[in-house]
Amino acid sequence: EPEVTQTPSHQVTQMGQEVILRCVPISNHLYFYWYRQILGQKVEFLVSFYNNEISEKSEIFDDQFSVERPDGSNFTLKIRSTKLEDSAMYFCASRGQGAPPQHFGDGTRLSIL
Protein backbone atom coordinates (compact mmCIF):
# COMPACT_ATOMS: atom_id res chain seq x y z
CA GLU A 1 0.00 0.00 0.00
CA PRO A 2 1.38 3.45 -0.89
CA GLU A 3 2.58 5.49 2.04
CA VAL A 4 3.87 8.92 2.96
CA THR A 5 7.56 8.87 3.84
CA GLN A 6 9.40 11.45 5.91
CA THR A 7 13.09 12.06 6.37
CA PRO A 8 14.99 12.27 8.60
CA SER A 9 13.26 10.38 11.38
CA HIS A 10 15.14 12.48 13.95
CA GLN A 11 16.80 15.85 13.44
CA VAL A 12 18.89 17.56 16.09
CA THR A 13 19.69 21.23 15.43
CA GLN A 14 21.20 24.13 17.32
CA MET A 15 18.87 26.99 18.13
CA GLY A 16 18.98 29.66 15.45
CA GLN A 17 19.90 27.25 12.68
CA GLU A 18 17.79 26.52 9.64
CA VAL A 19 16.21 23.12 9.26
CA ILE A 20 14.45 21.44 6.35
CA LEU A 21 12.10 18.54 6.91
CA ARG A 22 11.35 16.40 3.91
CA CYS A 23 8.31 14.44 2.86
CA VAL A 24 7.44 12.29 -0.11
CA PRO A 25 3.64 12.24 -0.39
CA ILE A 26 1.68 9.47 -2.09
CA SER A 27 2.32 9.88 -5.80
CA ASN A 28 -1.11 10.79 -7.18
CA HIS A 29 -2.14 12.98 -4.27
CA LEU A 30 -2.85 16.66 -4.78
CA TYR A 31 -3.32 18.09 -1.29
CA PHE A 32 -0.46 18.33 1.18
CA TYR A 33 -0.28 19.22 4.85
CA TRP A 34 2.10 19.71 7.72
CA TYR A 35 1.11 19.16 11.33
CA ARG A 36 3.14 19.15 14.49
CA GLN A 37 2.80 17.53 17.91
CA ILE A 38 4.70 18.84 20.88
CA LEU A 39 5.45 16.04 23.34
CA GLY A 40 2.34 15.15 25.32
CA GLN A 41 0.12 17.62 23.47
CA LYS A 42 -2.41 17.58 20.64
CA VAL A 43 -1.64 17.23 16.96
CA GLU A 44 -1.77 20.80 15.57
CA PHE A 45 -2.33 21.91 12.00
CA LEU A 46 0.39 24.07 10.48
CA VAL A 47 -0.30 24.51 6.78
CA SER A 48 -2.09 23.08 3.77
CA PHE A 49 -0.81 23.28 0.20
CA TYR A 50 -2.57 22.76 -3.11
CA ASN A 51 -1.78 23.67 -6.68
CA ASN A 52 1.64 25.00 -5.70
CA GLU A 53 0.41 27.47 -3.17
CA ILE A 54 -0.56 27.66 0.47
CA SER A 55 -4.29 27.17 0.96
CA GLU A 56 -4.46 27.76 4.68
CA LYS A 57 -2.03 28.29 7.51
CA SER A 58 -2.36 28.43 11.27
CA GLU A 59 -1.09 31.07 13.68
CA ILE A 60 1.88 28.83 14.41
CA PHE A 61 3.02 29.07 10.77
CA ASP A 62 4.69 32.46 11.00
CA ASP A 63 7.36 34.08 8.81
CA GLN A 64 9.97 31.62 10.06
CA PHE A 65 8.17 28.77 8.33
CA SER A 66 7.91 28.04 4.63
CA VAL A 67 6.84 25.12 2.47
CA GLU A 68 7.85 24.09 -1.00
CA ARG A 69 7.19 21.38 -3.51
CA PRO A 70 10.42 21.70 -5.43
CA ASP A 71 10.27 18.84 -7.89
CA GLY A 72 6.79 17.33 -8.08
CA SER A 73 7.56 14.55 -5.64
CA ASN A 74 9.01 16.11 -2.48
CA PHE A 75 7.19 18.41 -0.10
CA THR A 76 9.39 20.29 2.35
CA LEU A 77 8.93 22.33 5.50
CA LYS A 78 11.67 24.85 6.27
CA ILE A 79 12.16 26.61 9.58
CA ARG A 80 14.57 29.51 9.03
CA SER A 81 15.79 30.23 12.54
CA THR A 82 14.78 27.52 14.96
CA LYS A 83 13.70 28.20 18.52
CA LEU A 84 13.61 25.87 21.49
CA GLU A 85 9.82 25.79 21.28
CA ASP A 86 10.00 24.35 17.75
CA SER A 87 10.99 21.02 19.27
CA ALA A 88 8.20 18.62 18.31
CA MET A 89 7.17 15.76 16.03
CA TYR A 90 6.36 17.08 12.58
CA PHE A 91 3.94 15.08 10.48
CA CYS A 92 3.42 15.38 6.76
CA ALA A 93 0.11 14.25 5.24
CA SER A 94 -1.33 14.02 1.77
CA ARG A 95 -4.72 13.49 0.29
CA GLY A 96 -6.03 12.52 -3.12
CA GLN A 97 -8.65 14.22 -5.21
CA GLY A 98 -12.15 13.48 -3.94
CA ALA A 99 -10.80 11.03 -1.36
CA PRO A 100 -11.35 12.37 2.17
CA PRO A 101 -8.76 10.50 4.23
CA GLN A 102 -5.48 12.21 4.87
CA HIS A 103 -2.54 9.82 4.87
CA PHE A 104 0.16 10.63 7.40
CA GLY A 105 3.82 9.84 7.54
CA ASP A 106 5.46 8.60 10.72
CA GLY A 107 6.95 11.99 11.41
CA THR A 108 10.27 13.69 12.00
CA ARG A 109 11.27 14.30 15.59
CA LEU A 110 12.89 17.75 15.70
CA SER A 111 15.03 18.48 18.74
CA ILE A 112 16.35 22.03 19.16
CA LEU A 113 19.32 22.41 21.51
Residue 56 in contact with other proteins, rule: CB under 8 A: yes
CB of 48 to other proteins, least distance (A): 5
Which positions ≥6 away from 9 have C-beta within 8 Å?
A: 106, 107, 108, 109
Interface positions, 79-108, toward other proteins (CB under 8 A): 91, 93, 95, 100-107
CB of 3 to other proteins, least distance (A): 10
CB of 58 to other proteins, least distance (A): 8
Angstrom distance (rounded) from CA 66 to CA 54: 9
User: Which residues pair with residue 78 across a beta bridge?
Assistant: 20, 66
Residue 48 in contact with other proteins, rule: CB under 8 A: yes
CA-CA-CA-CA dihedral for 71, 56, 91, 24, to nearest 10: -20
Q: Which residues bind other proteins (CB under 8 A)?
A: 4, 31, 33, 35, 42-45, 48-50, 55-56, 91, 93, 95, 100-107
